[in-house]
Amino acid sequence: MTLYKDLHQRSISQREAFWGEEAKRIDWHKPFGKVLDYSRPPFAKWFVGGETNLCHNAVDRHLKDRGTQKALVWISTEVDRVESYTYQELFKEVNRTAAMLRSLGVGRGDRVIIYMPNVPEAVFAILACARLGAIHSVVFGGFAAASLAARIDDAKPVLMVTADGGSRMGKVIPYKPLVDESIRLAKHPPSKVLIFNRGLDPDMPSVPGRDIDWKDFSSKEENIPCTWLESSEPSYILYTSGTTGMPKGVQRDVGGHAVAMATSMPYIYCGGAGETIFTTSDIGWAVGHSYIIYAPLIAGMTTILYEGLPVRPDAGVWWKIVQDYQVNVMFSAPTAIRVLKKHDPALLKKYDLSSLKHLFLAGEPLDEPTHAWIAQGLGKPVIDHYWQTETGWPVLSAVHGIEKTPIKYGSPSFPAYGYDLKLLRESDASEAGADEKAVVAIVPPLPPGCMSTIWGDDERFVKTYFGDFKDQLVYSTFDWGIRDQDGYYFILGRTDDVINVAGHRLGTREIEEAVNMHSAIAECAVVGVVDALKGQMPLAFAVAKDATLVATREGQKALEKEIMDTVDRQLGAIGRPKAVHFVTLLPKTRSGKTLRRSIAALAEGRDPGDLTTIEDPGALQQIKDCLGIL
Ligand code: PRX
């Protein structure tokens, strides 16, 4: 393990020399003066004074050597279409889009909300923002109007870019009514909405004077120069869930992000210029930002953007794509593999996968049987790796571009270069020993590419992420982990109220707030429970204002359905609880805190833990009754 260890050691002990060298992987319009400014901990500024542009590095830079190479291939099994764009063509489309955005008043530092399905125009819009020095904030298309409105109000965008709709299982999901509703709800709505009309929704409503049709505008060909940004200026905001109901705007910089992306491709993903990567995520998530768009394009690869499910037209569709497009690197999520596991394993062998070097999986715990099933089925190394929206790139991973360390099933291997990782005891922040469960923490400064702050709220950034351990300024990942005798890490779930539903990160508080929007509900508690397919599912315990409403089974069923519809409307169907149980009171401590950990433990058949602080033990009995526990 010496090569990996040397790299990791150097990245920590000679931090500036290490990253100063790695920064040569990208183009700088103006060289940086200092690699790191850490004069105001925990805020880290990387490549100080350097000027660059993400779109230049992802597109323009490749025109000379790979203008005719495919940059982006869009495959939609939803609308049965394939579109390819060479770097030259991508350059043209991005410029055209940037021209549109500019004429709609978008400039440096302005925010643009992008609410789109996985279509090429979403990539054009993202890169066009980067070109203009505008800050994009992509919102996952599965979020409902109220969630979108909350993000609008936080980002205060000048423009929203959207499409008439998405598609799932061949069924159209109209976006526009939802967008209109979010703008109605928002206090700081954008004055213009640019709509890419795919022709999916013939009844799409339109607001004259505000709504603009992409196609009316986009015929103009124009070259828009890149706006050179100082390395630490914001490039994008991506909202993610945490302990409170209000999502946090993870803010990313420009220079550090570009360098982190450029470095991770050869070191971790073993991908190089001219090769093809297929990342099955959605552009609305961190994985989509980093590994559908930025890292592959900065590295000069061909990236595949996929719209569809892993099982349609059949469960071999992804492997057919690997064969047909000679995919070298693939990146997906454990949930998808668990879905494929229900189908004929012969499909894993049906196509020629000789081009494929690795399959990477991240986003949620990868259980050992699933890891073994897919690795053996494909006959390829399957690399579990761990990271977060906040970090933007892997925290724990095998670094096979440097050394082919053996893989242990169920483990995301070791700390990636740049991360000074510690496992700290929750009680006193002391370092845990081998095989001891503790909190995964990172000693700052965080490496390049990690979040620079929470958008508009430096104080919340410090308090949330660096306030977990008294007297010690360390970044908490809010994940439990252990390290075995051989130094391999295992992630054991979150320390906070974040749950992971089919790879989608959600806060149980967000779901609670959505449930509470139903006028018949007095209060509720939502917890995550293990689900064989989705990893976790939310489960709700609600107190009705009028107990007679839920006195009968029929009454309960009717209200449960209404609550589920409310969650769909407020948050999106991804947050819909598996079930809603009705109780007359929730188990709370004497100081009024709901005992969520105990409820979750009971729901998963575990010991509810220390209950000495409980206000009314009868409340816990009600939970047990709902769950059928004696
Ligand atoms: O709890 C960890 C889990 O997903 C969280 C981050 O989710 P998100 O911000 O959506 O970013 C996903 C980027 C890949 C983490 O705090 N998680 C992520 N990867 C793993 C994981 N849990 C276990 N094993 C992993 N490999």
Looking at ligand 1, which atom is closest to the CA of residue 500? 4
> Cα–Cα distance between 577 and 575 in angstroms, integer?
6
Best residue among 414, 454, 505, 534 to mutate for probing ligand 1's pocket (most ligand atoms within 8 Å of CB) is 505
Tell me the CA–centroid distance for residue 491 and ligand 1, in Å. 9
Q: Which of 428, 338, 347, 442 is nearest to 390 (CA)?
A: 442
Give the CATH superfamily of 497-627. ANL, C-terminal domain (3.30.300.30)
Phi, psi (rounded to 5 degrees) for 109: 80, -10
Would you say the C-alpha torsion 596, 461, 452, 414 has a positive or negative sign?
Answer: negative
Which residue has a Cα nearest atom 25 of ligand 1?
386
What does DSSP say about strands 438-442 and 475-483: parallel, antiparallel, or unpaired? Answer: antiparallel
| Per-residue pLDDT reduced to its tens digit, 464-474 | 999 989 889 99
Q: Which protein residues touch ligand 1 with a CB less than 6 Å away?
A: 240, 286-287, 362-366, 384-389, 412, 477, 479, 491, 494, 500, 505
Query: Token digits for 552?
Result: 């009968």
Ligand 1 centre to CA of 395 (Å) is 10
Q: Which residue's C-alpha comes closest to atom 10 of ligand 1?
A: 505
- The residue whose CB lies within 8 Å of the most ligand 1 atoms, and thus the one to mutate among 139, 239, 386, is 386
Among 479, 506, 530, which residue has the most ligand 1 atoms within 8 Å of its CB, making it the best to mutate? 479
Rounded to the nearest whole angstrom, what is the distance from the C-alpha of residue 505 to the centroid of ligand 1? Answer: 8
Q: Are 266 and 272 in contact (CB under 8 A)?
A: yes
Residue nearest to atom 21 of ligand 1 (CA): 364
Q: Report pLDDT for 197.
A: 97
* Residue (of 508, 495, 506, 525) closest to 593 by Cα position: 525
- The string of pLDDT tens digits covering residues 19-49 is 999 999 999 999 999 999 999 999 999 999 9
**Residue 64 in contact with residue 300, Cβ under 8 Å?**
no
Residue type, 584: T
> What is the pLDDT at residue 449?
98
* Nearest alpha carbon to residue 303 among 60, 57, 68, 71: 71
Domain boundaries, the chain: 2-308+385-479, 497-627
- What pLDDT score was predicted for residue 451? 98
Residue 280 has phi, psi (to 5 degrees) of -90, 10
Q: Write the single-letter amino acid at 118.
A: N
pLDDT score, position 131: 98
Contact in structure between 212 and 104 (CB atoms under 8 Å) = yes
* CA separation for the pair 538, 563 (Å, rounded): 13
- In this prediction, residue 244 carries a pLDDT of 76
Could you give the CA distance from residue 562 to residue 584 in angstroms, rounded to a whole number?
Answer: 18
DSSP 23: G
What value, to the nearest 5°, has the Cα angle with vertex 419 and ends 413 and 423?
A: 65
Q: How far is CA 306 from CA 58, 79, 117, 161, 339, in A?
A: 19, 11, 10, 20, 17
Phi-psi domain of 133 (left: phi exceeds 0; alpha: psi -120 through 50; beta: other): left
Strands 81-86 and 329-332: unpaired
Beta bridge partner(s), residue 498 = 507
3-state class (DSSP) for residue 569: helix
What is the pTM assigned to this prediction?
A: 0.95
| pLDDT of 217 | 79
Domain 2-308+385-479 sits in CATH 3.40.50.970: no
Position in ligand 1 atom list of the atom nearest CA 361: 26
Which is nearest to 150 in space by CA: 488, 571, 493, 482?
571
With a CB cutoff of 8 Å and minimum separation 6, the contacts of 541 are 524, 525, 526, 527, 580, 581, 582, 583, 586, 599, 623, 626
- The H-or-E segment that residue 126 falls in is helix 120-132
Which regions in the chain score pLDDT beneath 70? Answer: 219
Nearest CA to ligand 1 atom 26: 386
Distance CA 402, CA 300 (A): 20
Q: What is the largest CA-CA distance in the chain?
A: 73
Q: Which atom of ligand 1 is nearest to the CA of 477?
A: 16
Angle, CA 502 vertex, CA 282 and CA 151 arms, to 5°: 55
Residue reference for tokens 């490496």: 447
Q: How far apart are CA 54 and CA 442, in angstroms?
A: 26
How, if at all, do strands 521-531 and 535-544 pair? antiparallel
Helix boundaries (H) for 140-298 = 145-155, 176-185, 214-217, 255-264, 286-288, 295-298
The pair of three-digit structure tokens given for residue 509, joined into one six-digit string: 């508080």
